[in-house]
């Protein structure tokens, strides 16, 4: 079966993989976002005219309704890791998610897939996780048969996790580790896309799915893995969380005083609150296995994009290969 799917945030990290897979399945894909002129990279995912970026502001009913016209399925993968201006957690991840679900129901859309996150909880101390939980509740209040996906940390070529760790390793011989024992279950971005496609095409039953990869690792182990793949030897020093909060607060203050000219790209205090809890699949939850998806292992992918952080980039492997020939 094929038809028309509207993907909110379809030009982002996860959305582009969903868009590509839906196009391969023969669907027409409408990629909805605030800056369609910056989303032209999605057009080659299909035949001419098959994948089209369109403008949409999820804070506005009319804008959301317009991009749903004629759609058979809707996927919402809009999300933010930090608040900025009117793009608050509540506006985007709670109210925005509810607006999409309500209008999808009003328009008679057959299927809705909503991307949330493991750890979404109204009881969390993190505003991010609170808004994710509120978003899920708002979605289900309007669209009872929605497929909700809760991934752990997502890895892939454009990720903000392993790329950030490896990128920082280029500038310092010593790296602080905060919440080093917190556990993650990193999941490959294309596995998340497969799950979203299953939901959009009715291959997945309605409900909540927690998406974790093949391995559970601690935050410290994730840092060690990124350093290993990028050929960087760095000293990792565990530090207490209160120091991390002081540092994050100072960086956010600098960002505010500079009016955004000096952004806090390291860590916010809210992100640190999220680090307080493990980020792994819950016992008894529906998972990738229930969707017939065998998760991709990290080691088979990380070297494909972390090589650019190596001291000599792609030439490190060539040099090592030449050394073996001499031996």
Output the pLDDT for position 7.
Answer: 98
Domain that holds residue 68: 4-155+185-213+279-293
Mean per-residue pLDDT pooled into runs of 10, the chain (327 residues): 91 96 97 93 95 96 96 96 85 96 97 97 94 97 97 96 94 91 97 98 96 97 96 92 83 75 77 89 96 96 95 67 55
Q: What's the start-to-end Cα distance of the chain, in Å?
A: 57
Output the pLDDT for position 1.
Answer: 59
Answer yes or no: is 36 within a domain.
Answer: yes
Beta-carbon contacts of 33 under 8 Å, excluding residues fewer than 6 positions away, are: 8, 9, 10, 11, 12, 39, 53, 54, 55, 56
Give the Å distances, CA to CA, from 115 to 75, 125, 126, 208, 221. Answer: 8, 21, 18, 10, 26
Pairwise CA distance, residues 252 & 260, whole Å: 9
CATH of the domain at 43: 3.40.50.720
Answer yes or no: is 321 within a domain.
Answer: no
Domain count for the chain = 1
SS3 139: helix
Output the pLDDT for position 269.
Answer: 87
Pairwise CA distance, residues 77 & 189, whole Å: 12
Neighbours of 81 (CB within 10 A): 12
Output the pLDDT for position 107.
Answer: 97
């Amino acid at each position: 079966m094929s038809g028309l799917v509207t993907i909110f945030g379809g030009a982002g990290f996860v959305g582009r993989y969903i868009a590509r897979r839906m196009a391969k399945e023969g669907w027409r894909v409408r990629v909805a976002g605030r800056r369609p002129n910056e989303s032209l990279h999605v057009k080659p995912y299909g035949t001419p005219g098959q994948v089209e970026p369109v403008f949409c502001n999820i804070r506005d009913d009319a804008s959301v309704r317009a991009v749903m016209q004629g759609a058979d399925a809707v996927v919402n993968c809009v999300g933010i890791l930090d608040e900025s201006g009117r793009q608050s957690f509540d506006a985007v991840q709670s109210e925005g998610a509810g607006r999409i679900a309500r209008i999808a129901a009003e328009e008679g859309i057959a299927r809705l897939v909503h991307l949330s996150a493991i750890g979404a909880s109204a009881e969390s101390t993190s505003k991010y996780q609170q808004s994710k939980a509120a978003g899920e509740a708002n979605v289900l209040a309007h669209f009872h048969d929605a497929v909700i996906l809760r991934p752990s940390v997502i890895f892939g070529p454009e990720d903000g996790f392993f790329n950030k760790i490896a990128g920082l390793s280029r500038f310092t011989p010593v790296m602080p580790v905060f919440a080093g024992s917190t556990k993650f279950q990193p999941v490959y971005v294309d596995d998340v896309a497969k799950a979203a496609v299953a939901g959009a095409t009715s291959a997945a039953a309605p409900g909540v799915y927690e998406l974790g990869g093949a391995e559970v690792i601690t935050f410290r182990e994730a840092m060690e893995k990124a350093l290993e793949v990028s050929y960087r030897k760095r000293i990792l020093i565990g530090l207490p969380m209160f120091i991390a909060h002081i540092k994050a607060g100072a960086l956010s203050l600098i960002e505010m005083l500079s009016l955004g000219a000096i952004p806090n790209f390291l860590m916010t205090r809210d992100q640190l609150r999220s680090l307080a809890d493990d980020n792994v699949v819950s016992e008894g939850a529906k998972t990738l296995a229930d969707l017939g998806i065998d998760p991709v292992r990290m080691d088979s992918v990380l070297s494909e994009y972390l090589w650019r952080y190596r001291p000599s980039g792609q030439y490190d492997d060539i040099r090592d290969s030449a050394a073996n020939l001499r031996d």
